Amino acid sequence: MSDKLKEIMEELDKGDIDIFSALSRISESKGIENIGCARIDHARKNRCGFPEFIYGASKTIEQLCEIVPVLIKKQSPVLVTRLDPDKGKALKKKFPQGEYDELARVFVISQNTEKHGNVVVMTAGTSDLNVALEAKYTLESCAVGVSMINDVGVAGLHRLLGELESFKQADAIIVVAGMEGALPSVVGGLVSCPVIAVPTSVGYGAAMGGIAALLGMLNSCASGVSVVNIDNGFGAACAATRIIQNSRRKA
């Protein structure tokens, strides 16, 4: 038991604080910082292997401008996802050391940390690039090495086979594809590393906003392909980070 936790328990035992105050202080002692509009989890990296990130959609620019400095103060990388251009540009103006990528819809303030692992992010088409870039920025913010291979979908399979040497030694591969979502099955049949499939909402009417790709990936003939939600490049990158972190612990 830590000294801080022991102190809280002793105060509770003496009746100096009630159970709710004790629980609140225990939460704070575990790395939770309550700033009113958000409870920032500084201990997430120790538990999960990746730091606290910010989901930008539905948050106001005022809320974002309260949260970001807290992460900066802790020297944590800053990654804000799903940002509309007005919010992204406002964050860039407020924090000029950061970068806003309008296509990826992310704002990042990077830390110069050593990268570990080798994750390849692959797109079936250029139209899938926004989701792939979200994955790329997330991996970089997790201090994971990343490279990208773009526009190698099954409409021209020779393009993928021409890149085989550049991805067959990867620690994990994130495959981003829309339409019928066939590319992860092909990649899964070529490599031994974990393959994480990301369906995108790219496609004509029968693609149903990514549902066709999602169902195709879930029914992949290549055994062991994992699938995340539609357009969820962020989630795929976090899954790949867990794989890299677990490999490092066992090394």
Neighbours of 135 (CB within 10 A): 30
> What is this structure's pTM?
0.86
Domains in the chain: ranges and CATH: 32-109 (no CATH), 116-250 (3.40.50.1970)
142, 174 contact by CB (below 8 A): no
Tokens found for residue 59: 């948050």
46-50, 65-69, 199-203: least confident range: 46-50
DSSP per residue, 188-226: HTT-SS-EEEEE-S-SSGGGGGGHHHHHHHHT-SSTT-E
pLDDT score recorded for residue 37: 79
Residue 73 pLDDT class (50, 70, 90 cuts): confident
Contacts of 136 (CB under 8 A, 6+ apart): 104, 121, 146, 148, 233, 237
What DSSP designation does 127 have? G
Q: What is the mean pLDDT of residues 183-193?
A: 95
